[in-house]
A and B are shown apart, each in its own frame.
Chain A
């Protein structure tokens, strides 16, 4: 545990996350998420799928895994072109911030967000386990923050929900940092929602 970890995981870290809802805007508009209980289910589902994959790839990138292999691996696991684009946009923003704060070993401008997170975490002196934890935590806090803005949910109740999910986040991150085979879980409704969302004329979030 270090201050650097808190810095990187902080929702105020200027890496573009505030403009992405992690699929929540599409789920809210489709009527699948209306209240705190729905948000609970949404976050658990996201953590167990996207969260685990993101954490595992962040840990692998942080451990020095080949960037291009990991990029190809995430491309193969991200069915929705809109989500691939959103992942790269967030990766680009994170690399921009990371390059300002630390010395990155790559000149790539754009990587998938989990890969960028692993690269930046390593440059910041963090461990693969910490990279995985940051990824898992972000999987939950991004949509939780978006829910406060989109649904007007009580911020205390929303943070209490995130606190209840903390052990699950820890468990997902621990598993992600130790797996031999990179996981390939998917959430079809997130894929479908992202594709629909990308066609909307009016939307508040980039994804």
Chain B
């Protein structure tokens, strides 16, 4: 058969007005930047308004899922852990099959959802999500990693739909200059948004939650 003689099903059906599937948001960033704490905060803030679930990709299968369970953020059936074979970036970018299975299984088991948060395992500045897996992605860095991180760039900092500079409460303690980080982020990211966050001062992660809410209404 000639390749053009038939059409293939779209492997990733788009979200549409009838809510064919949940909005999927990827949350990535280096180890220790606060991804899981941000996911927990988003769940607490959004769970009342949105039907949501979480897929975790931590290198230790159940560690991040356990954190969410221990904190009573979501019931166990709304959290799925994906094993990544020592390569968290592979599972979110190069071979997304296990994550797609997890997202689809959540909706098959729980009924329609509004939002699935896909948290990557802690990786490096080059780890980004495939557009075949998520609709939007958040990249989380923290001020304790040094105020030069935005200047270093990398695909996460440069291309993420939202950059979160986390743990701003630590800035005076580690000598990080937030204005430098803001300036460098603007230089790297152009018009893409960047928010500064301290979950100690704002446990609801308000600016990030507002950004996510806006996306679910699109």
A92 partner residues in chain B, CB cutoff 8 A:
97, 101
Whether B187 sits at the interface, judged by CB under 8 Å, is: no
> B101 to A18, Cβ gap below 8 A?
no
B11 partner residues in chain A, CB cutoff 8 A:
96, 99-100
Produce 1/0 per residue, A190-202, CB < 8 A to B: 0000000000011
Whether A58 sits at the interface, judged by CB under 8 Å, is: no
Whether A189 sits at the interface, judged by CB under 8 Å, is: no
Query: Given the complex of chains A and B, what is the CA–CA distance between A92 and B85 in angstroms?
Result: 18
Residue of B nearest to A100 (CB): B11
A contact residues, total (Cβ < 8 Å): 27
Whether B61 sits at the interface, judged by CB under 8 Å, is: yes
> A103 to B1, Cβ gap below 8 A?
yes
A174 partner residues in chain B, CB cutoff 8 A:
none
Whether A149 sits at the interface, judged by CB under 8 Å, is: yes
> B1 to A19, Cβ gap below 8 A?
no
B6 partner residues in chain A, CB cutoff 8 A:
103
> A206 to B98, Cβ gap below 8 A?
yes
Residue of A nearest to B85 (CB): A19
Query: Given the complex of chains A and B, what is the CA–CA distance between A150 and B85 in angstroms?
Result: 9
B contact residues, total (Cβ < 8 Å): 25
> B86 to A150, Cβ gap below 8 A?
yes
Whether B75 sits at the interface, judged by CB under 8 Å, is: no
> A202 to B60, Cβ gap below 8 A?
yes
> B83 to A204, Cβ gap below 8 A?
yes
Whether A15 sits at the interface, judged by CB under 8 Å, is: yes
Query: Given the complex of chains A and B, what is the CA–CA distance between A14 and B101 in angstroms?
Result: 13
Query: Given the complex of chains A and B, what is the CA–CA distance between A19 and B86 in angstroms?
Result: 8
| Contacting residues of chain A (146-176) with chain B, CB-CB under 8 angstroms | 146, 149-150
Residue of B nearest to A19 (CB): B85
> A18 to B61, Cβ gap below 8 A?
no
Contact of A89 among B60, B91, B101 (CB under 8 A): B101
Residue of A nearest to B91 (CB): A19
Whether A65 sits at the interface, judged by CB under 8 Å, is: no
> A203 to B95, Cβ gap below 8 A?
no
Residue of B nearest to A96 (CB): B97
B86 partner residues in chain A, CB cutoff 8 A:
146, 149-150, 204-205
**Closest 9 A-B residue pairs measured CB to CB?**
A93-B97, A206-B83, A14-B95, A19-B85, A100-B11, A16-B97, A149-B86, A18-B85, A205-B85
